[in-house]
């Protein structure tokens, strides 16, 4: 009986090693605590991010009112207001900042800022990686659930191991929680649905078999 050449023996060893590492990682996922059902974000206020669209309304001054995008550097420009940082602020905070700027030119300005296109700051976006039909990032919305996220990304691929998916919670020191996507999506088990938090990363692994 002929022996396998060293090249094929090396391939076999690497394949077994990769399989072992994959099984170890998969097993360790099952030891994670389940994600909390509620996210406790009752006091959440939306924070403006680069890419958002803003309606800036200056009462009794229509010539100063306009719609502007938040630039990639997080700033906005408007009549009489140049290079004002918008990213990281609520719409109310930004309105007060604009009023201070306009106060040099306009008597007692009253400004309202309305966010019309939502992207949100990078630190608060929900990111989905791995075996989702369309891995992408989503702006966080209060009371957003795991099911909302999965509908937005088009569900799971045929190769996903949905019940070994995890949520990495950046707002909780990158703590990881187990979620049951297969039970939620394929079996309609709504007890597997949980609320998301700003900055969550949903990681969906590939099935080993």
Please report, for the chain, the start and end positions of each structural domain, with discontinuous segments joined by +. 6-43+122-204, 53-117
Q: HSE, CB side, 13 Å, CA atoms: give it for residue 60.
A: 5
Whether the predicted model's global pTM rises above the 0.75 cut: yes
pLDDT at 191 > cutoff 60: yes
User: In the structure, what pLDDT confidence band is assigned to residue 195 with cuts at 50, 70 and 90?
Assistant: very high
Among 5-9, 134-138, 189-193, where is mean pLDDT lowest?
5-9
DSSP tag of 196: -
CA distance 85 to 99: 14
- Give the bridge partners for 202, in sequence order: 128, 167
179 closest CA partner among 204, 159, 154 = 204
Listed in sequence order, the DSSP H helices in 45-110 are 91-102
pLDDT value of position 4:
47
pLDDT digits (tens, 9 = 90+) for 155-168: 999 999 999 999 99
pLDDT at 22 > cutoff 50: no
Among 31-45, 75-89, 118-132, 138-152, where is mean pLDDT lowest?
31-45
| Percent of the chain residues past pLDDT 70, beyond the cut | 84
Listed in sequence order, the DSSP H helices in 55-179 are 91-102, 146-152
Under 8 Å CB-to-CB from 59, ≥6 apart: which residues?
109, 110, 111, 112
CATH of domain 53-117: 3.30.1950.10
Rounded to the nearest integer, the mean pLDDT of the chain is: 87
Which one has a higher pLDDT value, 66 or 13? 66
* Burial class of residue 10 (count of CB atoms within 10 Å of its CB; 0-12, 13-18, 19+): exposed
Look up the CATH architecture of domain 6-43+122-204: Roll (3.10)
Q: Is 172 helix (H, G, I), strand (E, B) or coil?
A: helix
């Amino acid at each position: 009986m002929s022996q396998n050449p060293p090249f094929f023996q090396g391939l076999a060893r690497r394949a077994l090693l990769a399989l072992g590492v994959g099984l170890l990682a998969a097993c360790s996922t099952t030891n994670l605590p389940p994600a909390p059902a509620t996210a406790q974000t009752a006091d959440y206020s939306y924070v403006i991010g680069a890419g958002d669209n803003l309606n800036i309304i200056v009462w009794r001054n229509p010539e100063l009112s306009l719609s502007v995008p938040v630039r990639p550097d997080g700033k906005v420009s408007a009549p009489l207001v140049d290079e004002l940082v918008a990213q990281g602020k609520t719409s109310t905070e930004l309105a007060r900042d604009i009023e201070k700027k306009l106060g040099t030119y306009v008597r007692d300005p009253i400004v309202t800022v309305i966010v019309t296109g939502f992207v949100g700051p990078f630190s608060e976006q929900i990111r989905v990686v791995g075996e989702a039909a369309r891995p992408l990032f989503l702006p966080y919305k209060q009371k957003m659930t795991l099911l909302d996220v999965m509908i937005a990304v088009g569900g799971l691929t045929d190769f996903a191991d949905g019940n070994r998916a995890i949520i990495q919670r950046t707002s909780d020191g990158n703590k990881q929680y187990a979620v049951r996507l297969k039970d939620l999506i394929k079996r309609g088990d709504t007890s597997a649905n949980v609320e998301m938090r700003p900055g969550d990363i949903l990681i969906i692994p590939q099935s080993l078999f």
